[in-house]
């Protein structure tokens, strides 16, 4: 059987971090994931997916994300049910997160927060995100540099910017015959 979920989207609110009576951290949050198609009006709709993450990864997630953060989560679908205070049966479907990644650089995130603060005067200032993700093994892992925006003042990001790159096209045409190809 296979039960795997991979989502990329933005948080609809700050994660809700709580602790069980046994001391285990658990964070719940909702990820808004845009659909690949538009409706009749040309608007792109979104699905709002409930997620839960446990232990140290939950603490890391709550510390480094906030409303609007772009995140990637990997986990599994879980269904459960319980009887509420009125005696009605409540069914819940959620993603139990095993791994997550922060998909924005800190500077991009802070810039977006600043724009939101300027548009919402009197709103609260969210905490900055970090370039660290978490996983089920509770080991924070640095976000790969390939998904981070280049630092300000860095050199241009052209193919010729690294002279040690053996695959850089230095303006010369590449002469490859069919005999050179492995297929």
pLDDT digits (tens, 9 = 90+) for 103-157: 987 777 778 777 777 766 554 444 333 333 444 444 333 343 333 444 444 444 4
Residue 181 within any structural domain of the chain: no
pLDDT in tens, 79-95: 999 999 999 999 999 99
20-32 average pLDDT score = 94
Q: Which domain holds residue 35?
A: 5-161
Residue 97 within any structural domain of the chain: yes
Please state, for a pLDDT cut of 70, what percent of the chain lies above it. 64
Residue 98 within any structural domain of the chain: yes
Question: What's 81's domain CATH number?
Answer: 2.40.50.140
Residue 133 within any structural domain of the chain: yes
Question: Are the beta carbons of 3 and 74 closer than 8 angstroms?
Answer: no
Which phi and psi (to 5°) does residue 145 adopt? -70, -15
Q: Name the domain count of the chain.
A: 1
């Amino acid at each position: 059987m296979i039960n795997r979920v991979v989502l990329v989207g933005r948080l609809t609110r700050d994660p809700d971090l709580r602790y069980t009576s046994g001391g285990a951290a658990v964070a719940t949050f909702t990820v808004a994931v845009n659909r690949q198609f538009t409706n009749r009006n040309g608007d792109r709709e979104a699905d709002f997916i409930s997620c839960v993450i446990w232990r140290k990864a939950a603490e890391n997630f709550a510390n480094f994300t906030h409303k609007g953060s772009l995140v990637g989560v990997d986990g599994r679908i879980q269904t459960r049910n319980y009887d509420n205070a009125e005696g009605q049966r409540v069914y819940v479907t959620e993603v139990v997160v095993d791994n997550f990644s922060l998909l924005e650089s800190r500077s991009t995130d802070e810039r977006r927060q600043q724009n939101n603060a300027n548009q919402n005067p009197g709103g609260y200032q969210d905490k900055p995100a970090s370039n660290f993700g978490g996983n089920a093994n509770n080991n924070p892992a640095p976000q790969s540099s390939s998904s981070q925006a280049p630092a300000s003042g860095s050199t241009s990001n052209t193919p010729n910017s690294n002279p040690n790159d053996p695959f850089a096209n230095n303006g010369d045409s590449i002469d490859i015959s069919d005999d050179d190809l492995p297929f």
